[in-house]
Amino acid sequence: MKRVLLFILFAAGAPGGALAQQESMGQHGMQAAPAAGQKTAKGTGLIQRIDRDKGVVTIKHGPLPALNMTAMTMTYTVRDSRQLANLKPLQKVEFELAYDGKDYAITRIK
Amino acid sequence: MSITTRRKFLAAFAGAGAAGLGGVLWRRGAALAASDRASQFTNRLRLPAESGLYAAVAAKDVKQLAASELNFEVLPGILSPFWAYVAEVGGKRLLNPTLLARSGDSIKLSMVNRLKQPTIIHWHGLTNDDRNDGTGVYLAATGKEYDYAFKVRDRAANYWYHPHPYGFTAEQAYMGLAGLFIVKDDDEEKLARALDLDLGVTDIPLVIQDRSFSFEGRLEYRLTRDQIFMGFLGEEILVNQTARPYFDAARRVHRFRILNGSNARSYQLAFAQGGRLLDYHLIGTDGGLLERPEKVREAFIGAAQRLDVLLDLRAASGSEPVFLKSLAFDPMHNESFDEKTGKPPAAGVVDDHAAHAAAGTLPDGAEMLLLRINVRSSPEYRGQIPSRLSRLPKLAVGTGEPRRFRLGHDGNGNWTINGWRFNMHETPVTVQRGAREIWLLQNNRASMPHPAHIHGFQFRVLERRDSPAQVRSLATRNNGLLPQDLGLLDTVLVWPGESVRIALDFSHPFSGDQIYMFHCHNLEHEDTGMMIGYKVKA
């Protein structure tokens, strides 16, 4: 049901789209999975929130064409959570995002 | 409004049918954000210093303010486009200086327009003739200067200055152009002595503004269709141009001079330690000190309004930080309600309340943290908040029928005052210089909150009627008045369905007819025509 509703939301172009995507991905994974196999993309973004306990970071980032992703705000797992140690909210970061056909994870961020 | 009209209206401004859902999701997101953000306030609050942003300087020493486009680190380490009033005083460069004056001071300065669009400075709250008041009637084109010369005639208070070129005000203010104009007098100084207050140390101006940033950390002003109609809502709340700020405070009384400098957003301000709300004292409003402090736990502040408060941090327990926050409230985006019944749209009809609430990562009315206050150990402090502060001018109330102003929209996306939209060449209202009048500001039920600002004169609130429950519950007087209604105001927040009676005394020393503005200080509303000129006939 939620996927259907989210589709409606995106199709409508409602301005709430970014956070809706954020919640959707954080809790249920991506809607449209690319082909199987590891894919990566380099991106630039602005950190919104850091949860060091969970090892996740929420980033407002630009488009990631290599992963067929538009600009959005999204929460991602950071594979090596030690990389979160020196990050601050509203810091501009460069990062690398990997997709293995199932999950997205940040492999590098600084 | 008929359903047909409402649908047309929504199609134009509220986006398509999923908007209600968007509101639900956004609210959930905001709740998550509030709980984990407390530890993420890591930027030291910017305070007025010797130079730079908000530096305090005697207004009479400033000879020029240059409205300029700069690059500035709004977020640490990231240069962003930023517009500011730049002054050079005593070899120092000041941005949006905090101008200090005493009643009776003569101000003579030139505004230079270095923007790529016309501009003008409005001295918000000060009593001036129309030429020195500064509105879109008087503009400085790019590269031109505009000279101001006026005497400070008003009570001690926290006034401010900002752009007022019709059609450009919202963007210019958003990009940074705004500063405080603080007038002092003997009552002010007596209070400062009693509480040992020091501007920038224990007497802290707080300018609250919501802003959005691109993914590269640059200030971004992009209006959605909703926001053209309802006003801009940013994704981050800045205080003194500081995102997620903290302030180290001694365990004593602090004064916070709070300006809501946001384009459109209202806040319900409270100080909280953990789950406990702390009492604080409201001591002043737009037009200066109240007669006596009013103890409150929460207070609404609409765009352009000022609240002057005292917080006694001796009431804070332990070392847990105290937060200035905005409590959750109903933002009352009731544009699509039935005007006669005051009821929401029927089932199956899009509720644009939710749509409007969905327009940013921080929905209007969401609970949000604004400023972390770290309570530090300090020498024992014995200051006591005085029981009397000042004497208000005698309330001069007219005896005639009130002049009525209806705030609403025309169903086609235009906000109006009595059905009027701004026309530079018309003044649909004329008052007689020296007259005492009562104005009745009536906001439609099918509306949203409007911070109504009147140029030229401070006024008093006489009565609030039909206030929504969240407002009525804060009233401390039989006539529905809130604590912040007890002082002099130049801006009053009028909620949907509410009627506010105000008393105006149109006495002033200026000869000749004067034309002033009366408008909604939601800057997107103002820029799109929710403003009228009114004439004070000599």
pLDDT of residue B348: 55
pLDDT of residue B49: 87
Q: Which residue has the tokens 């749509």?
A: B355
Give yes or no for a contact between B365 and B240, defined as CB atoms under 8 angstroms apart.
no
pLDDT of B116-143, one tens digit each?
999 999 999 999 999 999 998 999 999 9
| Range list of β-strands (E), B115-164 | 121-124, 145-151, 157-163
Please give the Cα distance from B112 to B106 (Å, whole number): 19
Shortest distance between the Cα of B233 and any Cα of chain A, in A, equals 11
CB contact under 8 A, A49 and B40: yes
pLDDT of B268-286, one tens digit each?
999 999 999 999 999 999 9
Residue B123's contacts (CB-CB under 8 Å, 6 or more residues apart) are: B132, B133, B134, B148, B150, B159, B161, B181
Alpha helices in B14-134 (DSSP H): 19-36, 130-133
Please give the Cα distance from B413 to B62 (Å, whole number): 42
Residue A18 parent element (H or E): helix A17-28
Please give the Cα distance from B286 to B459 (Å, whole number): 10
Nearest residue in chain A measured CA to CA from B40: A89
Shortest distance between the Cα of B296 and any Cα of chain A, in A, equals 32
pLDDT of residue B349: 58
B135 closest CA partner among B118, B152, B149: B118
B406 closest CA partner among B392, B420, B395, B394: B420
Three-state SS string across A59-76, please? EEECCEHHHCECCEEEEE
Indicate if the pLDDT at residue B13 is higher than 90: no
pLDDT of residue B20: 29
pLDDT of residue B39: 76
Q: In this predicted complex, what is the ipTM?
A: 0.81
Indicate if the pLDDT at residue A33 is higher than 80: no
pTM of this prediction?
0.89
Q: What is the mean pLDDT of residues B25-30?
A: 36
What residues of A are in contact with residue B217 (Cβ under 8 Å)?
46, 90, 92
Using a CB–CB cutoff of 8 Å, tell me whether B112 touches chain A. Answer: no
How far out from the chain centre does Cα B199 lie?
21
Residue B196's contacts (CB-CB under 8 Å, 6 or more residues apart) are: B202, B381, B383
pLDDT of residue B36: 53
Shortest distance between the Cα of B349 and any Cα of chain A, in A, equals 16
pLDDT of B139-159, one tens digit each?
999 999 999 999 999 999 999
pLDDT of residue B350: 52
Give yes or no for a contact between B103 and B183, defined as CB atoms under 8 angstroms apart.
yes
CB contact under 8 A, A23 and B78: no
B264 closest CA partner among B229, B232, B236: B232
Amino acid at B527: D
Q: A–B: how many Cβ contacts below 8 A? A: 99
No. of helices (H) and no. of strands (E), chain B: 9, 36
Please give the Cα distance from B538 to B508 (Å, whole number): 10
Q: What is the mean pLDDT of residues B219-229?
A: 92
Indicate if the pLDDT at residue A23 is higher than 70: no
Indicate if the pLDDT at residue A18 is higher than 90: no
pLDDT of B228-270, one tens digit each?
999 999 999 999 999 999 999 999 999 999 999 999 999 999 9
pLDDT of residue B395: 87
DSSP helix/strand/coil, B398? coil
Q: What is the mean pLDDT of residues B379-404?
A: 93
Q: Which of A75, A86, A92 to mutate to probe the B interface, most B CBs <10 Å?
A: A92
B258 closest CA partner among B464, B23, B484: B484
Q: What is the mean pLDDT of residues A20-48?
A: 61
Q: What residues form DSSP beta bridges with B460?
A: B503
pLDDT of B201-219, one tens digit each?
999 999 999 999 999 999 9
Using a CB–CB cutoff of 8 Å, tell me whether B222 touches chain A. Answer: no
Please give the Cα distance from B428 to A67 (Å, whole number): 58
Q: What is the mean pLDDT of residues A12-29?
A: 33
Nearest to A14 among B18, B37, B236 (CB): B18
pLDDT of residue B341: 87
Weakest-pLDDT range from A79-93, B210-224, B358-372: B358-372
pLDDT of residue B26: 33
Please give the Cα distance from A103 to A79 (Å, whole number): 11
Shortest distance between the Cα of A66 and any Cα of chain B, in A, equals 18
Structure tokens belonging to residue B38? 């407390």
pLDDT of residue B420: 97
> Of all residues in chain B, what percent carry a pLDDT higher than 70?
90
In Å, what is the CA distance from A64 to each residue of A39, A61, B280, B392? 11, 8, 48, 60
Please give the Cα distance from B204 to B258 (Å, whole number): 8
